[in-house]
Amino acid sequence: MDGRQGMMMGNTLLLCILLGYLGLLVLGTHVPEESLPISLHNEFVLHFFAYAGLALLVGGLRVRRKCVGSAGEAGSGSLRLLGVFLLVMGVAVCDEATQPFFGRAFEVEDLTADFSGAAMAIYVVAQWDRVGRRSGPCLDGERASCSAAHRPHSCNVSSIGND
């Protein structure tokens, strides 16, 4: 199995976990509070960690991309993480906005916790990406800081844009 196949299998597994997690998140936030088997003493903490987990899962997905220079790599990584944050926040707003239809209330405090958890998770993913780019051999051009000797054949300058 080469690096691409491993990445695809990892993404498939992560996507399945992500969809299951999202389903449980939506189910858990739409069940009326009286029906829950546990008492929610600090709902802020639950929202924080629920959306931190969602952002970590979405941020962990990798897309196949061509090898680019370090400036482009940093820029594309930042845009990817901004996209992850905006996607997770869109889910949080939709989740919170649909709760009144199920006997729950739209609460700005919950959104604040969601945003905070997602921001913390995005920071963790950004640090993980930064450390990952600086260490170890390249895998399919993912780390721009690798020396030319470690880059795979498909990641040389002449192949960019010719795929």
Query: How many percent of the chain have pLDDT more than 90?
Result: 36
Domain that holds residue 121: 3-159
How many folded domains does the chain comprise? 1
For residue 120 the two structure tokens come to: 């913390």
Q: What average pLDDT does range 9-30 have in this prediction?
A: 86
For every residue of 11-28, DSSP letters joined together read HHHHHHHHHHHHHHHHHH
Q: Which amino acid is at 116?
A: S
Buried/exposed code over 37-72 (b: 16+ C-beta within 10 A; e: otherwise) = eeeeeeebebbbebbbbbbbbbbbebeeeebeeeee
Residues shown for the chain: 163
pLDDT exceeds 60 at position 117: yes
User: What pLDDT is attached to residue 14?
Assistant: 86
Q: What pLDDT digit, counting tens, does each position of 46-73 carry? A: 899 999 999 999 988 765 444 444 444 4
